[in-house]
Structure 1
Amino acid sequence: MKHLLAGLILLMSTQAFAWGGRGHDTICRVASFLVKEPGLKEYLQHKPQMMGHLCNMPDFYWKSLGGEANKLGNPAHFIDIEVIGLDVKDIPVDYKKLIADYTGKPNKFKNDGSTIKSIPQEFGSSWWRVDQFMRIIAGLEKEFALATPPANFKEEQNNDLPYNKLAYQLVTSMGLMGHFVGDNCQPFHTTADYDGYAAGHGGIHAYFEDAVVGQFDGDLDYLVLKEARAMKKPEFLKPKTPIEKMKVLSVISNKEIPKILKLDPIKKKSTLVKEKGMEIKTAAEREPASVAFKKMKPYIVTEMARGAVLLANLWDEAYASAGKPKLGAYKSYKYPFTVDFVAPDYFDTTEKSDKEEKK
């Protein structure tokens, strides 16, 4: 019973949050100071705290909703590359083609004869999730062109004013998108062995992204910002599309997994035992996070900096695609405490439900 309980607890912990709340907050705060578009930069320099809050929305508020928000939303946080057996660089960027080509094919990670039943659920889709929000923002351009910015204090505080509604949608979409960019710079969100059990490092996910990150002093934002500003023409900014940029960042992030595992101060390897169709997991025994922090610190700072640099780049592109609206005119006090769940639109989210209704 003790082992069963441990397994169930660890199973729940696999719904890990990339970087935890503090890491996502840092990435998005830092990105707020890296944007180059003048109109966007002027607005965001007063809103880093709000962007950090928005970037945590998919992990905290959305995951608390349960139901469809979890079923459709949770797999959008990762790319489990080993499931289809390709190197990251060789993964197709056409998601519908990916579904058509690999649904029903052997699951190369499990290697037990099972087949892939759902690419969205088993493989994930973080690259395409970012692209979705980029498209949502670009779709606001025509409406912004027709909307009139607020002309006085009363209009500035009118949340039903078309211009204010558009500005709110633009900013919230940017913040939500930021979460998935942050996911992609966390190495364990680019592998099917996201919690390290296949490598004997079970429990590494939360240990690395949360416990070790928690060892930083109050200068985490500064360290990441300094590192980000020192990055000159990184490879992941060279591709033309958001999906391709995310793909290149995934290649870089994924290559760091062996390095991080080597620095993991384990005293006893984890175990994974299959009994009666269940996986019973016992996490690795390791030194306190303060021990790992000394060696992992540079990797974490660099990885978060990459995420912030890419996010700022995408925010600039998104802002331009929306027609570079005058965000300085948007002075509403409305704060996005909660934002409605946005379902993925790059695959058929109703297909399974339709089949279930017919049974």
Structure 2
Amino acid sequence: MKPEPEPQWGFFGHRRINRLAVFALPAELIPFYKQNIEYITEHAVDPDKRRYATRHEGPRHFIDLDQYGKAPFENLPRGWNEALAHYTDVYLVDLRGDTVKIIGEGATRFENGRLLGAENNRSIGLQGISTKDYQTFYNQHIFPQYYEDIWQVEPDSLAKVLGITLPCRSIFAKDRLSEHGVLPYNLLHMQRRLTDAFYTRNVAAILRLSAEIGHYIGDAHVPLHTTKNYNGQLSDQIGIHAFWESRIPELFADKAYDNFVGVAEYIRDPQAYYWKMVLESNSLVDSVLLIEKRLKQSLPQDQQFCYEERLGVTIRTQCTAFAQAYQEALRGMIESRWRASIQAVSSAWYSAWVDAGKPDLRKLNFRPDEKELEEIKALEASLKKGKIQGREHE
């Protein structure tokens, strides 16, 4: 017997959301997307498959907002470069071989090139330099190393911008942001990439990015993608993640949900739009957890979990009656987030097309080339290995 295997909205959910989003598009876009609806549907789950291939994929699916205090999390910059710079610590290896933090919380203070001791203030390593100047330095010297295992900093370049001497063996930086997720930053990045694909009329990129941004938008509508307690592991509720976003939609989305949403709307401020999305999801976290816990306490164990056959395998999963009771106790929350996902995916596609100048898509025909086919094979091979890079379950 195995537990239910599929994370996030589930493969079912992500595929269905993308498929339904096609029918919320304005008339100018429906023919192109309907012509390619099977690709958009099938490849909605590619980002999940990529989690088995690279450690950089996982953080794109979530953000632990509660890591940053309380809503609206004003100490978390909304811009990607600014957030990454703010939550990057810089360390110096001195001439004796000791490692000292010089930029970041609890950094060691410098004065006249000498170390003076630690203070609980993240800016103390940056006396005499403006935030703007440090951001420029960061963008030029540290940010380009984002996908590297080790972020090296040239001592002379940092010494110059700080206006001090830095006698040392080496300097390196550590990212404290990504481990807690980068979902809203990734959404804005994907929106820009999709716009570029429309602008250049790169049909393969349009379809691939349309499918994948749909996945991330779906994730952003799930409350448990915005908290450190992403699978109830901190509140003795292991398994609630798949219960909320996989089990219930699989049981009720086609039979009970109103899957016809309003027509796609133009997104005037994508950054604000995507941050509002994750903040709304985060505001629902307490209800998701507390209502499930209360319901479990009111029902005997044998009414909570049942056994089902799936593809010849017996799995233990939440009973249909239990799922129905949880859905009703949530008062339409899951259906509301489901419908909002569909409309948001459609709006993201439409907005990228508008921002690209509304290119004529009628003559764009897609046939996967050799590179595309090789990438698909590589994703499938990574999935079969069965080892997720990073969090086992968001």
String of CA shifts for 1:134-187, please: whole Å, max 9, x gaps. 22233246544xxxxxxxxxxxxxxxxxxxxx1121121111111111110011
Q: In 2, Cα distance between the equivalents of 1:100 and 1:307?
A: 31
3-state SS of paired residue (1:172): helix
* Residue matched to 1:63: 51
Cα deviation for residue 334 of structure 1 reads: 3.8
Change (3 A) 1:187 1:27: same
CA contact (8 A) 1:130 1:180 kept: yes
| Consecutive unaligned residues in structure 2, runs of 5 or more | 90-103, 106-121, 123-172, 299-315, 380-394
Aligned partner (choices 302, 321, 324) of residue 293 of structure 1: 324
Cα deviation for residue 287 of structure 1 reads: 5.7
* Residue matched to 1:266: 296
Is 1:133 equivalent to 2:190 in the alignment?
A: yes
String of CA shifts for 1:116-143, please: whole Å, max 9, x gaps. 9534432211112122222223324654
* Residue matched to 1:44: 33
How do 1:231-270 residues align onto structure 2 when only pairs under 5 Å count? 240-264=268-292, 265-267=295-297
Is 1:193 equivalent to 2:183 in the alignment?
A: no
Q: In 1, Cα distance between the equivalents of 2:191 and 2:268?
A: 13
Q: In 2, Cα distance between the equivalents of 1:141 and 1:330?
A: 11
Q: In 1, Cα distance between the equivalents of 2:323 and 2:210?
A: 33
* Residue matched to 1:155: none
* Residue matched to 1:103: 88
Q: Which runs of 4+ in 1 moved over 6 A?
A: 335-338
Change (3 A) 1:174 1:102: same
* Residue matched to 1:85: 69
Cα deviation for residue 197 of structure 1 reads: 2.2
CA contact (8 A) 1:79 1:126 kept: yes
Cα deviation for residue 339 of structure 1 reads: 4.7
Aligned partner (choices 29, 39, 42) of residue 53 of structure 1: 42
* Residue matched to 2:100: none
Percent identical: 20
Q: In 1, Cα distance between the equivalents of 2:251 and 2:259?
A: 18
| Consecutive unaligned residues in structure 1, runs of 5 or more | 1-8, 107-114, 145-165, 269-284, 343-359
TM-score, normalised on structure 2?
A: 0.60
String of CA shifts for 1:249-293, please: whole Å, max 9, x gaps. 11211122222223323249xxxxxxxxxxxxxxxx996354123
CA contact (8 A) 1:32 1:44 kept: yes
Query: Which has the greater radius of gyration?
Result: 2
Q: In 1, Cα distance between the equivalents of 2:253 and 2:343?
A: 22
Opposite residue 88 of structure 2, the aligned amino acid is T
Cα deviation for residue 247 of structure 1 reads: 0.9
Cα deviation for residue 333 of structure 1 reads: 4.7
Q: In 2, Cα distance between the equivalents of 1:49 and 1:140?
A: 19
* Residue matched to 2:21: 31
Q: In 1, Cα distance between the equivalents of 2:251 and 2:273?
A: 30
Q: In 1, Cα distance between the equivalents of 2:43 and 2:71?
A: 32
Is 1:76 equivalent to 2:60 in the alignment?
A: yes
Q: In 2, Cα distance between the equivalents of 1:224 and 1:329?
A: 34
String of CA shifts for 1:292-335, please: whole Å, max 9, x gaps. 23441622211111111111111111112233233222234549
* Residue matched to 2:340: 306
Q: In 2, Cα distance between the equivalents of 1:313 and 1:217?
A: 21
3-state SS of paired residue (2:216): helix
CA contact (8 A) 2:88 2:177 kept: no
Q: In 1, Cα distance between the equivalents of 2:175 and 2:238?
A: 25
Q: In 2, Cα distance between the equivalents of 1:55 and 1:294?
A: 29
> Would you say how many aligned residue pairs link Structure 1 and Structure 2?
273
CA contact (8 A) 1:84 1:102 kept: no
TM-score, normalised on structure 1?
A: 0.66
3-state SS of paired residue (2:51): helix
